[in-house]
Structure 1
Amino acid sequence: MLMRYLKGYSLLLVASLMACSKSSTTTDKIGNWIKRSEFEGVGRSAAASFVIDNKAYVGTGYDGENRLQDFWVYDVDLNQWTQKAALPGVGRSGAVGMAMAGKGYVGTGYDGLNKLSDFYQYDPASNTWARKADFAGTARYGAVSFALNDKGYIATGYDGNWLKDNWRYDPASNAWTQVQSLTSGKRQDGNAFVIGNKAYVCMGTANGTYVSDFYAFDGGTETWTALRAIDNVSDQSYDDNYNFKGSGAAAFAMRGLGYIATGTKTGLSTAVWEYNPGTDLWVQKTDFEGAARNGATGFTVKDRGFVVLGTSSSQPFDNMFEFDPTAPYNQYD
């Protein structure tokens, strides 16, 4: 009887310690993840996305066997995905997407054999794609993209070498112009998010290592400014030190702040970091509540941030979560 009691007490003690351990990892950070409608297509990684009229468009990517062309739109009010016209050309992963003047754009990427430079415009009114002037830089995948002042930009990536060049696309003239390259920090599989009239680029890999450089690109002057590195644990001039350099993360911006979630660091990660451009500081937030993953897609609709898709080893995911950065953690939603 005593042994049975002690065994039961031990089980309760272990359960209690586990609960305390979970509490210590969730309550000491702010933010809450909420599960939303699963992506209706097959699970995949390295998809392209853009947002038009408060709807998110996500497509292409790699499902572990095939490079894909299908595209889907997410309606945040209905919490529902609907299939749209597929991207022309070949299926691809590692492509970029952006939106300008009410149209979406997708280009570059990798089809499993070739690096790509083709570039397409999507019209949501007619649900049709039109081929536009090919990207003027070298064919590549793993680039970053962003839109400022109704102009699109494609920067960095991999064409057989790691890159730091930057190209502007003008939809009015259907023409590409090379603008200022990053000062340093060649990379592939980096991240970009936009706050105001600036794009912020960080993370990625080059020369077999993770990149720690962090830059802001000003849409008015078309120049880059180096910001505080994301690997500064040895810099004693800062009170707050951190290191979250990695690649293949999801990025989005909302409420004037930027967010990086998941990706590969020393291994697959669920870590979430919030960037404040006013202080040039990052703060760690509540971990992503889905499985750790690489190659997920982030987007913002109606000032609400989402992370969808991604892969872990050979397992592609189709689930999606919304992040509320100011809400307390709730394990039941």
Structure 2
Amino acid sequence: MRNIRSYSLLLIASLVASCSKDSTTTDKVGNWIRRSEFEGVARSAAASFVIDNKAYVGTGYDGTNRLQDFWVYDVDMNQWTQKAAFPGTARNNASGFAAGGKGYVGIGYDGLNKLNDFYQYDPAANSWTKKANFAGTARYGAVGFSLTKSGSEYGFFATGYDGNWLKDNWRYDPVADSWTQVQSMNLGKRTDASVFVINNKAYVCMGTANSANVTDFASYDADADNWTTLRSISNISDDSYDDAYNFAGYAAAAFAIKGKGYIASGLKSGLSTAVWEYDPASDLWTQKTDFEGAGRSYSTGFAAKDRGFVVLGTSSSQPFDDMWEFNPAAEYNKND
């Protein structure tokens, strides 16, 4: 049986990495600024979604308990406010997305069971409503994202772990409250992958399967219901563009701002603080200034008002509640 949410592995990883940065920060571009700490208890593997440039973050695991509380972050106020608690079973490694002005959270792991229930959050009413159960197998560690198809917004859950590693892809229709299986990922199975959305395409990379880090990378177009294979995130070619690529791993935070995608932290051979920027125009990655918080995995990444953030996470036995904002174009400043 697979060790669910393998925190023993995280402990080993943290000893290997000793929470050190992957490389020096002074020769790279980008700057991290510490923002308001998450106001709930420190945790990892939380679910999130963004509505009207406000980030909603909740559920997760504090090292002892699975959680149900939910919080909203106001970018302009740099402030967290508690909202109605998630009504389902307390869980970690759930998935979320926003569509049609509502937030959605489902699936995950409650400490004993893989889950397939699914709920909608209405920010105007500050209330949750149970919706149609996820139609795929009960699972955790899936990616959640939203895309527009034929002018309407849909949510998606893809990949994950149900006792086996997965590559299937499911579309949720908020109007019909129904799930439809769409084109599976055309590359390897995985759990704990990362996703970001640029120009109405979802980019899925990283993850782990069969005790190995996944190195393939693809984008999904909902209108065409088609996956496009992109360049691998490891150094496998004879060309020079990927000579520095060394960031294949899992449980990393991800977000997209100003037409580029970002991957931060996660687990490789140990805990990572590396930050990589993806340019879809060139299909190339550039290493940026390292994450300035402690090395961690299962943190949460989100973007609001073209600003990228990383919050929460764990270094095995130590959950975090700090939050950091990344400016990819700024010069590194060690004093802010």
Matched residue, 2:225: 222
CA separation in 1, counterparts of 2:199 and 2:222? 9
CA separation in 1, counterparts of 2:78 and 2:69? 19
- Measured after TM superposition, the shift of residue 211 of structure 1 is 0.3
Q: Does 1:55 align with 2:54?
A: yes
Matched residue, 1:74: 73
- Measured after TM superposition, the shift of residue 240 of structure 1 is 3.5
Deviations 1:223-257 (A, max 9, x none): 101100001x2310343331210000000000000
SS in 2 for 1:69: coil
Matched residue, 1:259: 262
Q: Does 1:240 align with 2:242?
A: yes
- Measured after TM superposition, the shift of residue 197 of structure 1 is 1.1
Contact 2:252 2:299 in 1 (8 A): yes
Contact 2:241 2:284 in 1 (8 A): no
Matched residue, 1:65: 64
Contact 1:35 1:321 in 2 (8 A): yes
SS in 1 for 2:60: strand
Contact 1:197 1:220 in 2 (8 A): no
Deviations 1:2-34 (A, max 9, x none): xxxxxxxxxxxxxxxxxxxx9x92221000000
SS in 2 for 1:33: strand
SS in 1 for 2:24: helix
Matched residue, 1:137: 136
- Measured after TM superposition, the shift of residue 89 of structure 1 is 1.5
Deviations 1:39-63 (A, max 9, x none): 0000000000000011000000000
5 Å matches for 1:309-320?
309-320=312-323
- Measured after TM superposition, the shift of residue 313 of structure 1 is 1.5
Matched residue, 1:192: 195
CA separation in 1, counterparts of 2:252 and 2:312? 11
Matched residue, 2:15: none
Q: Does 1:204 align with 2:203?
A: no
Contact 1:59 1:70 in 2 (8 A): yes
SS in 2 for 1:253: strand
Contact 2:236 2:242 in 1 (8 A): no
TM-score, structure 2 as length reference: 0.91
CA separation in 1, counterparts of 2:199 and 2:68? 31
CA separation in 2, counterparts of 1:103 and 1:116? 21
Matched residue, 2:332: 329
Matched residue, 1:162: 165
Matched residue, 2:102: 103
Contact 1:27 1:329 in 2 (8 A): yes
SS in 2 for 1:234: coil
TM-score, structure 1 as length reference: 0.92
Could you list the structure 1 runs, at least 4 aligned residues long, displaced by more than 2 angstroms after superposition: 237-241
Taking a change above 3 Å as real, the CA distance of residues 234 and 223 of structure 1, as seen in their structure-2 partners, is closer
Deviations 1:55-97 (A, max 9, x none): 0000000000011000000001110000000111210000001
More helix by share: 1
Deviations 1:265-315 (A, max 9, x none): 010000000000000000000000000000000000100000000001200
- Measured after TM superposition, the shift of residue 37 of structure 1 is 0.0
SS in 2 for 1:26: coil
Q: Which amino acid aligns with 1:303?
A: D
Matched residue, 1:15: none
Contact 1:68 1:91 in 2 (8 A): yes
Provide the aligned length of Structure 1 versus Structure 2: 310
- Measured after TM superposition, the shift of residue 220 of structure 1 is 1.4
5+ residue gaps, structure 1, are 1-21
- Measured after TM superposition, the shift of residue 185 of structure 1 is 1.1
CA separation in 1, counterparts of 2:114 and 2:60? 14
- Measured after TM superposition, the shift of residue 218 of structure 1 is 0.6
Q: Which amino acid aligns with 1:143?
A: A
Q: Which amino acid aligns with 2:91?
A: R
SS in 2 for 1:322: strand
Equivalent position to 2:181, from 168, 171, 178 = 178
Q: Which amino acid aligns with 2:67?
A: L
Deviations 1:85-140 (A, max 9, x none): 01112100000010001000000000000000000000000000000000000000
Matched residue, 2:83: 84
Contact 2:187 2:218 in 1 (8 A): no
Contact 2:302 2:309 in 1 (8 A): yes
Equivalent position to 2:253, from 247, 250, 259 = 250
Q: Does 1:153 align with 2:156?
A: yes
5+ residue gaps, structure 2, are 1-20
Looking at CA atoms only, which structure, 1 or 2, has the larger radius of gyration?
1
